[in-house]
Amino acid sequence: MISVSVIVPIYNVEQFVGRAIASVLAQTWRDFELILVDDGSPDRSLDICRQFDDPRIKIVQQENRGLAGARNTGIRHASGRYIALLDGDDAWLPTKLEKHVQHLDQAPDIGVSFCRSQFIDDAGRALGTYQMPRLNQLKPEHLLCRNPIGNGSAAVIRREVFEQIKFKANLYGTEEDFYFDDCFRQSEDRECWIRIAITTAWKVEGIPQALTLYRLRPHGLSTNLAAQLASWEQVMDKTRSYAPELMDQWESRARAYQLRYLARTAIRKSDGPEAATYVHRALATEWRIAVEEPRRTLLTLIAAYLLILLPRRLYNAISRCALTLSGVSQQRRIQSEGTA
């Protein structure tokens, strides 16, 4: 059996997909298959995929089903012990698969292994900052209140996990197995991680290295904050249907953390009024987030008001300085934990 099946959904990523594929082919771990799922992409993405000549590559074509639908198709075609997900506009560092295979091989109770991620811009330049989530001792409430996995290109999952959470449905004219929920066009990965954490005994655990290059696109799906909040509410509705007691205890706090996250996204968009609105809603929803994470909550509030009050040039200078200092601190932490 192949050790890893890498699944890359392909849709309108002609500018980026070549780098994504090349980053998989450059992996130090060589025992993998690469399944490229063309999700009815109208651009030149498929032509670019066909330019790569490697026997490990399989191309699957389908009419558009969305990101969840493309991942599900890839999983149905996968033969590996582990399933690795990579979005077509992201990339990996060369030791990504090697580190995760070691992690999963050494810990048979871990079902989802993820890594930290480094932010890159639309042109692929490193921004110098990282996603720095909690890595260990993750409980269902941590998955509800945060998204420690961070993005769809960070996780490597045991096949048994997907087999345990799969469900059958007839959404496209014939009954099929589903793993991610095709009804979601956003937040589909977070819904899946929450379902795994609540309905199975598998552990979700991270490794300290930043092995995923996560692209921040100025016009991506995640920049539509109202749509993102609506999709998050849809996730909460589904979770409530099978875990009502957990939701009674944690939903308010989870909503507050989601609102604060949207405030931080608005800050990255340089929209001060929108950021202030979301952070105020977060605190009004659950004031305890200011006690649990005082530094991050206060910095979010301060940044929102600086955006409103300061001239843009001055704000940008302060922001660049703060991000540089934060990035240096994050790099030191990653290096110290990665060698521990």
Does 218 score more than 60 pLDDT? yes
pLDDT for 192 beyond 80: yes
Q: Is the pLDDT of residue 261 over 70?
A: yes
Domain boundaries of the chain, sorted by first residue: 4-219, 228-338
pLDDT in tens, 4-20: 999 999 999 999 999 99
Per-residue confidence band for 219, with pLDDT thresholds at 50, 70 and 90? low
Q: What is the mean pLDDT of residues 156-173?
A: 97
Tell me phi and psi for residue 272, to 5 degrees.
-60, -50
**Is the pLDDT at 217 greater than 90, yes or no?**
no
CATH of 4-219 among 3.30.300.100, 3.90.550.10, 3.40.50.1980, 3.40.50.150? 3.90.550.10
Mean local confidence (pLDDT), 157-179: 96
Residue 111 token pair: 């079902």
Per residue in 125-156, pLDDT tens?
A: 999 999 999 999 999 999 999 999 999 999 99
Does pLDDT of 338 surpass 90? Answer: no
Cβ-based neighbour number of residue 238 at 10 Å: 17
Averaged over 199-210, what is the pLDDT? 97
Q: What is the DSSP string of 187-245?
A: SHHHHHHHHHHHHS--EEEEEEEEEEEEE--TTSGGG-HHHHHHHHHHHHHHHHHH-HH
- pLDDT confidence of residue 220: 55
Average pLDDT, the chain: 95
- Give me the pLDDT at residue 224, please: 85
Which residue bears the tokens 């379902």?
Answer: 195
Residue 168 parent element (H or E): strand 167-169
Q: In the chain, pLDDT over 70 holds for what percent of residues?
A: 98
Mean pLDDT calculated for residue range 281-297: 96
> Residue 232 — φ and ψ, nearest 5°?
-65, -40
